[in-house]
Amino acid sequence: MSGLLVVTAVPAEADAVRAGLTDPTVTVLPVGVGPAVAGAATARLLALAEGAGRPYRAVVSAGIAGGFVDRAPVGGTVLATRSVAADLGAESPTGFIPVEDLGMPAELLGGGSVVPADPGLLGALRTALPAATVGAVLTISTVTGTAASTAALADRHPDAVAEAMEGYGVAVAATQAGLPFAELRTVSNPIGPRDRGSWRMREAFAALTAAAAALR
């Protein structure tokens, strides 16, 4: 049996994680940007490992994220209590309708739009990273870039602390494989009107390297 599989979106995130690892049994691989490609690539990695007789024990989605102002500070570390497909559903005149509320049979929804983090894995990460902010991490396909959409997301998900683009897809792949899942992010920018000048990529990558010591 192999150890922990950590997947990131891009190689720079994978490099930052590897730089902080202390456990040689942890595998870190970039799988692409967005929930679809990340989920498909993670599922393939898990299937190949199982087929080779060396299945992974757990999966972590890791990388940088945007943080909700006053909930997760720039440069801080975030642990997800649950990974939420925040834009999986339908628009309506009265607001967003989550996919669970569209009247589809439960068997067509899989795990629905929310995948909780594994309690044991999340607990171990919280112990190792006591300063981390803990809450829901939203998975979106379009990065939030206006004050109106930021406010709508914050109102709809009062426990959300950050948003990224891969966690839910990775979570579904792990769940389908029957493996524990967790999501770890470090915050590079506040969520809101797009302002590249406010991004702190260097600080976020440094925080990701520091947090990687908890992945064992």
The token pair at 113 is 């739009």
Three-state secondary structure call for residue 16: helix
d(CA 19, CA 26): 12
Contact, 80 vs 142, CB < 8 A?
no
In the chain, at which residue ranges do the beta strands (DSSP E only) sit?
Answer: 4-8, 27-30, 58-67, 77-85, 89-90, 97-98, 114-116, 133-139, 160-164, 181-190
Question: What was the pLDDT predicted at 1?
Answer: 52
Total tally of structural domains belonging to the chain = 1
Question: What was the pLDDT predicted at 57?
Answer: 96
* CATH number, domain with residue 98: 3.40.50.1580
d(CA 21, CA 187): 19
Question: What was the pLDDT predicted at 197?
Answer: 76
For helices 167-176 and 35-51, give the axis angle rounded to 10 degrees: 30
Question: What was the pLDDT predicted at 30?
Answer: 98
With a cut of 70, list the residues of the chain below it in pLDDT: 1, 106-107
**C-alpha separations of 199 from 15, 53, 65, 194 in Å:** 19, 42, 10, 9
* pLDDT tens profile 94-114: 888 888 888 887 667 777 889
What is the widest separation between alpha-carbon atoms in the chain?
Answer: 52
**Alpha helices, DSSP H, located in 52-135:** 119-128
* pLDDT tens profile 79-91: 999 999 999 888 8
Rg of the chain, C-alpha, whole Å: 16
Question: What was the pLDDT predicted at 97?
Answer: 87
Residue 59 lies in domain? 4-214
Question: What was the pLDDT predicted at 45?
Answer: 97
Burial zone of 158 (CB within 10 Å; 0-12 exposed, 13-18 middle, 19+ buried): exposed
Question: What was the pLDDT predicted at 106?
Answer: 65
